[in-house]
Amino acid sequence: MIIVMQSHVTDEQIQLVQDRLSSMGMQPHVSRGIERTVVGAIGDERAIDQEALEALQGVEKVVRVMKPYKIVARESHEYDSTVKIGDIIIGGKALQVIAGPCSVETKAQMDAAAEGVVAAGCRLMRAGAFKPRSSPYAFQGLGVEGLEIFKSAANQYNLPVVTELMDVRMLDVFLTHNVDVIQIGTRNMQNFDLLKEVGRTHTPVILKRGLSATIEEWLMAAEYIAAGGNHNIIFCERGVRTYENAYRNMLDVTAIPVLKRETHLPVIIDPSHAGGKAWMVPALSRAAIAAGADGLLVEMHPEPEKAWSDADQALSPKELGVLMGELQGIAAVLGREL
C-alpha cells in the first residue's frame, strides 16, 4: 500500500501515519521525492483500514498495491510519469533518441560524435567513460579523463550527457562533473548497494535490464532506487540472453507493453546491444517505437570501423540521420513527435 502525502506535509504528520501503520501491524517506509513524500506500507494490506488512513492530516490519497514493488507500480500513479532532463522530457508525447559512441576514446572523436548527434536531430548524448567488458584485457575506458572529454564535447552543443556508473565509489565524481543522466548497466541491475546510493540523489537514472532478469526482478531493482527518494527512473530494455547465437541478444519487444501496464515510468530501448550488428539497429528501432517505447539509446561513432569497442554495432552519423527520418514517420502515425 502507498500513502501519498500532501505537498506541504509536516514531519509530525508523516510520523503520525507511520505510527498508525505500525499499530495496524504494517512496516512503514518513507520515501521523500522532490514534489511528494510517499509512505509505503509493507505487510498484509487486508489488515489496513484505508478510510482511517485517508482521514489523517497530511494524507492526499491511499493506494492499495498488492505487488512487491510499490512506488514504481502503475497502481501508485494513475498517469504516465515523465523524467525531465533540463528542458528535455522523456515520456509523454515526444520521443527522445540518445546517441553517441560506446566509449570515450579521444577529444577529436568525441567532438565529431557530438557534431553528428546534433546533425541527426538527437537532443541527448551517450558515451562510456568507464566500460564493463567481458575480457579483463579489453579497453576499459578512460575513466575520469574520459568523463571530462565527454562533458567538454557535449557542452559545445548544450547536450545533456548519459554515462554508465559502475562503482558506488565514483558516484561523487559523477555528481561533481554534473553528469545529467546516470546509466546503471545490465551487469549492475541487481547491485543493490549501488541502487540505494543512486536512489539518494535526484539525478535521472536509466536502469538497464539484466541479462536474464524477469520483468518483476527489473521492477524490484527500480524500487530500490525509488525507495531512496529518486523517482526519476527510465527503464531500458537491451535484450536478454537466450540459446540463440545468430545475434547478440534477443530484444524483448513484448517487455514494452508489459512495462507500460505495470509501471508509470518511461521505457526506452537499446537496439544496439540487442542485435549487436549495425545493420539490425534500424529494424529493431522501428519495432520498438511502433510498440510504444518512449525513446532509444543508440550507438553512433564518427568512424565505426575505427571504434575501440563495439565497432560492429555502431551506426555512422549518416546512418543515424537516415534512421531519425524513418522514426519521424512512425512517430507521426502514433500521434507522437521526434
DSSP string covering 220-256: HHHHHHHHTT---EEEEE--B--S--SSSSB--TTHH
Return the amino acid letter for 7. S
pLDDT tens figures, 256-306: 999 999 999 999 999 999 999 999 999 999 999 999 999 999 999 999 999
Question: Rounded CA gap, 85 and 106, in Å?
Answer: 26
Q: Vertex 296, ends 291 and 297: CA angle to 5°?
A: 145
- C-alpha cell belonging to residue 232: 526519476
pTM recorded for the entire structure: 0.84
According to DSSP, residue 308 is labeled: S
Return the amino acid letter for 225. I
From the centroid of its chain, how far is CA 4?
23
Residue ranges matching CATH 3.30.70.1140 in the chain: 2-66
Residue 23 parent element (H or E): helix 11-23
The number of C-alpha atoms within 13 Å of 27 and in the hemisphere containing its C-beta is 2
Return the amino acid letter for 272. S
* DSSP-assigned states of every residue in 112-160: HHHHHHHHHT--EEE-BSS---SSTTS----THHHHHHHHHHHHTTT--
The reported pLDDT for the residue numbered 1 is 82
Closest CA to 188 of 257, 241, 266, 132: 132
Question: What superfamily would CATH give domain 83-333?
Answer: Aldolase class I (3.20.20.70)
Residue ranges matching CATH 3.20.20.70 in the chain: 83-333
- C-alpha cell belonging to residue 101: 559512441
Domain 2-66: assigned CATH number: 3.30.70.1140
Terminal C-alpha separation, the chain: 37
Q: Measure Cα distances from 97 to 144, 247, 260, 268 in Å.
A: 25, 23, 19, 9
Q: Measure Cα distances from 157 to 85, 117, 119, 183 in Å.
A: 15, 9, 10, 21
In this prediction, the residues of the chain whose per-residue pLDDT falls under 50 are none
The reported pLDDT for the residue numbered 67 is 79
